[in-house]
Amino acid sequence: MNPVLAKKTVVENTEKKNERKQKKRGAVMWGFLYAGAFLVSFVVSAVVKMTYNPLGDKYTVAWNDSVGRVYRDLAYGDGEANKFDLYVPADKSKENYGLVVYLHAGGFTSGDKSGDASMLQWLCSRGYVAAGINYTLSDQEHPDANVYTQSVEIRESIPSVIDEAEKLGYHINEMAVSGGSAGHCLAMLYAYRDAVTSPVPVKMVFGAVGPSCFYLEDWINLGADPEDPVAVDPDMDYSQMAGLFSVMAGKKITADMFGTGAYLEEMKDISAAMWINEDSVPTVCAYGSWDKLQAFGASRRLAAALEEHHVPHEYIVFEHSGHGLQNDTNRFKEYMEKVLEYLDTYMPADGKSF
């Protein structure tokens, strides 16, 4: 080919490729900004969790000694963050008690068990032993902490929580695990991946807006129209998204792994939905379809896995809400009613579950 024509062809092809990239860039730029912010500052979604309660006092309790007692900052390991708060009912007459663990939100980078005191008190008021557990946050002081190491800490904490309850006179014979956002992610990992290691049977899991898996096509659609998602563009540079996945998994994920799908196996350790099978526990979960901090598409995969394996579940979509689930009062009511229904069915407070 004539060198001039060859050069012209190269230029034209480059221009066309740039045009395609530009069209997609606006749609996925927020995804890159999210990944960049997460990698640089470790504070994305740090203060976002489901705190909105449009139902007033229905799911709160006036906490006093007639309801229960709380024992704070009990140790379960050697790490500075390896502490838990244990809420025990005033009534010590029952032979057995169910334990409900509620794990705090904070984007894996911040948060504390104290932020869930109201939820833990309410659970305790219903006759459960309740525990809020801290885990080592992924921050400047702990750059090696990640979702996987946090999930291991939770797994290793449960025997200590149960032992402490036993010392106080509360025999634990079963448990449920729950949480919000990052805490929901960790709760699902314990329920689906680690339940076989639990000292007592895990009877159910519930929570809201926790990442359940890490398919690239879901994560480039953060905050996009759930009915009109952006497709993966083979010409795009997804290196920043690979960086985000690397930080979360504690493994080296590279952009070229997206093309082969090899990254999915590397992400399995922190992908709760990939651990679901016919023996998985009953589930209640809530997600906002306009979530800009975790992938709504991932929640659909979670629901599909629960459906495929015939796991009793409630998948509740807040159609007008994002990560905070703040725009759908009726859905919030439905979610809390289903949590109560599943607790009463699979782990009733009288200890007589099937």
- Cβ contacts of 25-29, under 8 Å, gap ≥ 24: 25/236, 27/224, 27/230, 28/220, 28/230, 28/233, 28/236
Q: What band does 350 get if pLDDT is binned at 50, 70 and 90?
A: confident
Segment among 51-60, 118-127, 263-272, 337-346 with least mean pLDDT: 51-60
The pLDDT value given to residue 79: 96
* 3-state helix, strand and coil shares in percent for the chain, rounded to the nearest 5: 45, 15, 40
Q: What band does 27 get if pLDDT is binned at 50, 70 and 90?
A: very low
The pLDDT value given to residue 58: 83
Distances (CA, A) of 335 to 49, 74, 294, 300: 15, 31, 19, 17
pTM of the prediction? 0.88
What are 156-204's pLDDT values in tens digits? 999 999 999 999 999 999 999 999 999 999 999 999 999 999 999 999 9
